[in-house]
């Protein structure tokens, strides 16, 4: 379980701004021995540092090292609240997706691409099938769909085996389409670990179901969204 004992933790009576290494040293003195401070970063706010621990915990620390804040940090904009924490998560998601070899996706590419989305999919998921049945709509709107494998029932499930066959196939697009149409495909065995790699990445992104859609800007959408809905979201 990720370490975090208190939402607000008193650290010291100091009122001056601490250096990042001082923050790191102070926190390392109170966290469990098997956990360390991974990094201390500036934020868009002039009042907080962002801290990440080696167990993945994220929280904010005031510049004087007096308080820890556990939770999302919001900026009050003119007509709305901006979740600064999620903006950081979006950047991290895009960074990790950009590090994946494009050949690992099963992609459907429009003639003229306006944007692209990354879809964690399960071939036995009803809404995943609905999304794929509308693939031509996405392509007509200039949306490239890059599929990643996310068999919801795990890496020992029948769905995992079917998706492994699709990702090993010489015709992955056709194989994926057939599976989503309820058809059987050729059982192609290979040593690729792409499906398990995608599955673990979905878990890392805290995907709660399928489809999970990542927009080009890194925003995460849970569930089915039409091509029009996606374009409207990108305009906002």
Catalytic residue status for 152: yes
**How far apart, in whole angstroms, are the C-alpha atoms of residue 164 and residue 94?**
24
Query: Which of 88, 128, 129, 168 is the catalytic position?
Result: 128
Task: Catalogue the long-range contacts made by 12-19 (C-beta closer than 8 Å, 24 or more residues apart).
Answer: 12/64, 12/65, 12/66, 13/66, 14/64, 14/65, 14/66, 15/64, 15/66, 16/64, 17/63, 17/64, 18/63, 18/64, 18/65
- Give the other-Cβ count within 10 Å of 229's Cβ: 12
Q: Reply yes or no: is the peptide bond before residue 158 cis, omega within 30 of 0.
A: no
The catalytic residue among 93, 129, 152, 168 is 152
Active-site position among 88, 93, 124, 125: 125
Known active-site residue 122: yes
Do the Cβ atoms of 35 and 2 come closer than 8 Å? no
Q: Tell me if residue 174 is catalytic.
A: no
Query: Does 128 participate in catalysis according to the annotation?
Result: yes
Residue 122 contacts residue 159 (beta carbons within 8 Å): yes
Which position among 122, 124, 129, 168 bears the catalytic label?
122
Catalytic residues: 122, 125, 128, 152
């Amino acid at each position: 379980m990720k370490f975090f004992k208190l939402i607000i933790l008193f650290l010291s009576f100091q009122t001056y701004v601490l250096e990042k290494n001082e923050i790191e040293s102070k926190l390392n003195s109170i966290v469990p021995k098997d956990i360390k401070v991974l990094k201390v970063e500036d934020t868009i706010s002039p009042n907080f540092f962002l801290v990440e621990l080696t167990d993945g915990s994220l929280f904010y620390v005031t510049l004087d090292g007096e308080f820890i804040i556990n939770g999302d940090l919001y900026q009050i904009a003119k007509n709305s609240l901006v979740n600064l924490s999620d903006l950081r998560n979006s950047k991290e998601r895009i960074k990790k997706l950009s590090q994946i070899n494009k050949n690992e996706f099963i992609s459907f590419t429009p003639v003229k691409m306006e944007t692209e989305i990354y879809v964690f999919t399960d071939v036995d998921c009803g809404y995943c099938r609905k999304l794929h049945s509308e693939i031509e709509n996405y392509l007509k709107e200039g949306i490239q769909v890059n599929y990643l494998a996310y068999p919801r029932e795990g890496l020992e499930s029948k769905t995992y085996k079917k998706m492994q066959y699709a990702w090993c196939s010489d015709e992955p697009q056709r194989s994926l389409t057939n599976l989503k149409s309820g058809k059987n495909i050729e059982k192609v065995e290979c040593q690729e670990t792409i499906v398990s790699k995608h599955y673990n990445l979905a878990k890392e992104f805290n995907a709660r179901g399928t489809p999970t859609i990542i927009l080009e800007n890194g925003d995460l959408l849970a569930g089915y969204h039409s091509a029009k809905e996606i374009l409207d979201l990108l305009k906002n």
